[in-house]
Amino acid sequence: MSVTGSGGRVLPARPGDPKKVGPFRVIGRLGTGGMGTVHAALDSRGVRVAVKVIHPAQAGDPEFRARFRREVALSSRVAGPCLMPLLAADADAETPWLATEYAPGLTLNQHLIAHAPLTGGSLHAFAVGTAQALAAIHRAGVVHRDVKPQNVILTPAGPRVLDFGIAHAADGTSVTRTGVMTGTPGWISPEHYRTGTAGPAGDVFAWGALVAYAATGRLPFGTGTPDVVAYRVMSEAPDLAGIPGPLRELVEKALAKDPDERPSAHEAAEHCTGLLAAHATQVLPVTPVVRPTSVGGLVEAEWHVPGLDDPAWQVRRPSSWKRPVVVAVAVGSVLGGLVGGALALPALDGGTDGNKTARPTARATPGRTPTADGGTGATPAARTAVPPTARSVKDALASVPEPAYTRSEEESQPLPGEWAASTRAETSEERAAVREIQDLARTMLATKGWRDSVPEVTFNREAQTVVVTTGPVPQIPEDQRDLFRRVGEAAACTAVSHRLKEQPATWPYGRYSVHWLYGKQENDASVVGYGDAADGCSREVAGRWHGDEAGLTTAGIPSSDKAEIRVADSTVKALHAAWDARADEVSLEPLDKGAVLLGFDPAEHAMYVWAYEDGYGPLGGRAQQSHLTDVVEKTGCGKLLAEAATNSGWRYDRYVVALYWGVDGETQILDSGTCPEN
């Protein structure tokens, strides 16, 4: 069921619409379709979702329920790039429903009407993203069966393929009604018209038509009655004039009348990825911190489609004089992949004074930052309260009989309303904590390109919580949002743990929470992270630090720090040399040039080293993996400690070794720890 009629925007709810579906709170409508209504809703954290609720008449049809139950089962099997994953569903409810992530943006149809055909990098990114989505669907043993412009949303981060309403398993079992042609005229393959066959090759045919339509704004087989369009599909050549040469050749193969002559979705995705990489207008120097197989980053970097800002998503609450107004200022940029994609993070008012009266928020300029009096001061790196290399204090309240912070034994997450009730710094100690958290966060974020970005820091005395907030950024890649969460947690925990240790009798804050604003209206922000600083902030088990997939994701974001790039380059060369020397000794297979990649996680002060392995390469066995971890610990750690000896701002002394397995990139952490000083 497609979301139609809304242009990607939230429409008002109608009389009789539910207030809640499952765990989701309904705030409006996104559209209607043959199966039911799609509602705009929020989960308990404020995350946007699209909830499909089936029409009551169809819900009472046992055959339809069987098809819907099958749809839910199939959708749960499908995951991959440029798809909207199934979040929850209840096929046996009185009124069945399912919920997916919300895809902001226009459908391809709506975009072509409002704007123009896609060109350049955006066209190639569209071809890559939609082909990748179909490849993921086919890997799960599913056929989409209804690929068409209404089922593709152009989000700010790239295209998204929707709607598995008539998908069915590739084993040929069909749950469609006998004699009913499924699909949409103009997007149905020749073999489907002739024999009713609807397999992966049929999806590829529709994909070819989709790319042609995106590139030209014309339907490749024209318009007319369904019979006329069907005749053209089966008998005539498509109109592909205006499609760039290399892409046109691929589209022509995808639209072949014989399904055996078409490429698979995976082959189409691979071919389009090469075209997209060749089209990239800016090529960064090849350094080990760049992850060359991050196709998602490449798509986002070359994707230039206007997004939508729909204030209807923002659920307003009564204004509070206690809460400072947050104003976004786009000042930072992050390298998004192989090419120069920019991503903005707002710089927020520091709110470091005790004035609760609403006032204009100072705007940041490069190299300057808002001060407590609303003016601008020197670059804040010069006044960092705690050096960037400082670590949190473990067991900060050990042997303290009556600390001011009394919630250290509680493990509950932030309660609703804690964010809204937090206020600006009122005491000199609180203002000093604000500066320290902001400086630590800024130092870490700067390594990923956010040089002038600073989170907001407020305090909830009743909850004994320091609150770190950023936004509003309605849409941002998940890995970038997770970077802010991890940086916010690390900065807050470090500063708070030091104060608990130094001022246990007077410092009342021990908990911290990190929040993300999704829109321009002041609203309860979503909790993305929280913790307690009294026990320290490092993940250690039996005295050993451990890395994780979140840190690996952060390390995969290309660095913009010159020292990190220099150290990464020399370290990777040293790792290859050390491996080659060991390979001669114990008959190891040599590593290909560029096989080992390296990046840094500023939140945990860790160097991540990773490689890709399909099970048949030089790192497929346990003995080879053991050799790699040994080389990283000895040679890689030596490089980190050598840099620390000459660079007072160097913060890295931990290491992680990881593998990405197979085409799906399953992650395995092989080893991690703190570099030995001897």
Identify the CATH number of the domain in which residue 262 sits. 1.10.510.10
Q: Is 543 contained in some domain?
A: no
* 530 in the same domain as 572: no
Q: Name, in order, each residue with C-beta under 8 angstroms of 157's C-beta and a sequence gap of 6 or more.
A: 300, 303, 475, 477
Q: Is 422 contained in some domain?
A: yes
pLDDT at 423 over 90: yes
Q: Is 631 contained in some domain?
A: yes
* 455 in the same domain as 339: yes
Strand 511-516 to 465-470 pairing: parallel
Alpha-carbon distances of 561 from 243, 291, 506, 539, 564, rounded to whole Å: 40, 16, 38, 25, 5
Residue 98 sits in a domain whose CATH number is 3.30.200.20
Torsion of CA 215, 221, 225, 227, to 10 degrees: -150
Q: What is the mean pLDDT of residues 496-517?
A: 89
Strand, helix or coil for residue 312 = helix
Q: Is 544 contained in some domain?
A: no
Where among 102, 127, 147 does a domain terminate?
102
pLDDT band at 337 (very low <50, low <70, confident <90, very high): very low
Where among 501, 517, 537 does a domain terminate?
537
pLDDT band at 338 (very low <50, low <70, confident <90, very high): very low
174 against 563, higher pLDDT = 563
Q: Give the length of the chain.
A: 678
Q: What is the pLDDT of residue 321?
A: 29
Q: Which of 76-85, 127-136, 171-180, 189-198 has the lowest mean pLDDT?
A: 171-180
Whether the bond between 472 and the residue before it is cis, its omega within 30 degrees of 0, is: yes
Q: Is 516 contained in some domain?
A: yes
Alpha-carbon distances of 547 from 302, 585, 656, 666, 670, rounded to whole Å: 31, 30, 6, 16, 10
> Across 282-291, 319-328, 606-615, which has the greatest mean pLDDT?
606-615
Q: Which of 304-308, 422-426, 637-641, 660-664 has the lowest mean pLDDT?
A: 660-664
Where among 102, 124, 142 does a domain terminate?
102
Domain span at 608: 549-674
**Chain Cα centroid distance, residue 372:** 33
Q: What is the mean pLDDT of residues 586-594?
A: 73
Annotation says 601 is catalytic:
no
Name the strand (E) or helix (H) holding 500: helix 478-502
Q: What is the pLDDT of residue 336?
A: 29
pLDDT at 516 over 90: no
Q: What is the pLDDT of residue 111?
A: 87
Q: What are the tens digits of pLDDT across the range 68-99?
A: 888 788 777 787 788 888 888 998 898 999 99
Q: Which of 46-60, 88-102, 378-392, 424-438 has the lowest mean pLDDT?
A: 378-392
* 367 in the same domain as 252: no
**Beta carbons of 492 and 437 less than 8 angstroms apart:** yes
Whole-angstrom Cα distance, residue 660 to residue 657?
11
pLDDT at 460 over 90: yes
Q: Is 290 contained in some domain?
A: yes
For residue 24, the cross-strand partners are 21
* 257 in the same domain as 202: yes
Q: Which of 61, 90, 146, 569 is catalytic?
A: 146
* 381 in the same domain as 405: yes
* 169 in the same domain as 71: no
pLDDT band at 678 (very low <50, low <70, confident <90, very high): low
pLDDT at 509 over 80: yes
pLDDT at 323 over 60: no
Q: What is the mean pLDDT of residues 610-624?
A: 74
* 559 in the same domain as 520: no
For residue 31, the cross-strand partners are 38
Name the strand (E) or helix (H) holding 514: strand 511-516
Percent with pLDDT over 90 in the chain: 30
Q: What is the pLDDT of residue 134?
A: 94
Whole-angstrom Cα distance, residue 224 to residue 672?
63
The conformation of residue 563, written as its DSSP 8-state character, comes to H
Residue 566 sits in a domain whose CATH number is 3.30.70
Q: Is 185 contained in some domain?
A: yes
At how many degrees (to 10) do helices 622-631 and 562-586 cross? 130
Q: Which of 311-325, 566-580, 607-621 has the lowest mean pLDDT?
A: 311-325
Q: Which of 151, 268, 270, 154 has its CA nearest to residue 200?
A: 268
* Residue 439, phi then psi, degrees to nearest 5: -70, -40
pLDDT at 2 over 60: no
**Beta carbons of 132 and 82 less than 8 angstroms apart:** yes
Whole-angstrom Cα distance, residue 223 to residue 215?
17
Whole-angstrom Cα distance, residue 555 to residue 514?
20
Six-digit token string for 616: 């048949």
Q: In which residue are the tokens 């390979």 written?
A: 583
* 347 in the same domain as 423: yes
Q: What is the pLDDT of residue 319?
A: 32
Q: What is the pLDDT of residue 219?
A: 93
pLDDT at 669 over 50: yes
Percent with pLDDT over 70 in the chain: 72
* 563 in the same domain as 523: no
Q: Name, in order, each residue with C-beta under 8 angstroms of 193's C-beta and a sequence gap of 6 or more.
A: 230, 233, 234
Whole-angstrom Cα distance, residue 528 to residue 474?
15
Q: What are the tens digits of pLDDT across the range 372-415?
A: 333 333 333 333 333 433 555 566 666 667 888 888 766 667 88
Whole-angstrom Cα distance, residue 661 to residue 666?
5
The conformation of residue 408, written as its DSSP 8-state character, comes to T
* 268 in the same domain as 404: no
* 271 in the same domain as 124: yes
> Across 87-96, 154-163, 199-208, which has the greatest mean pLDDT?
199-208
pLDDT band at 290 (very low <50, low <70, confident <90, very high): very low
Strand 86-90 to 97-101 pairing: antiparallel
Q: What is the pLDDT of residue 409?
A: 66
In total, how many domains does the chain have?
Answer: 4
Three-state SS across 625-646?
HHHHHHHHHHHHHHHHHHHHHH
Strand, helix or coil for residue 223 = coil
**Beta carbons of 5 and 33 less than 8 angstroms apart:** no
* 468 in the same domain as 420: yes
Q: Is 314 contained in some domain?
A: no
**Beta carbons of 539 and 548 less than 8 angstroms apart:** yes
Q: What is the mean pLDDT of residues 357-363?
A: 27
**Chain Cα centroid distance, residue 153:** 17
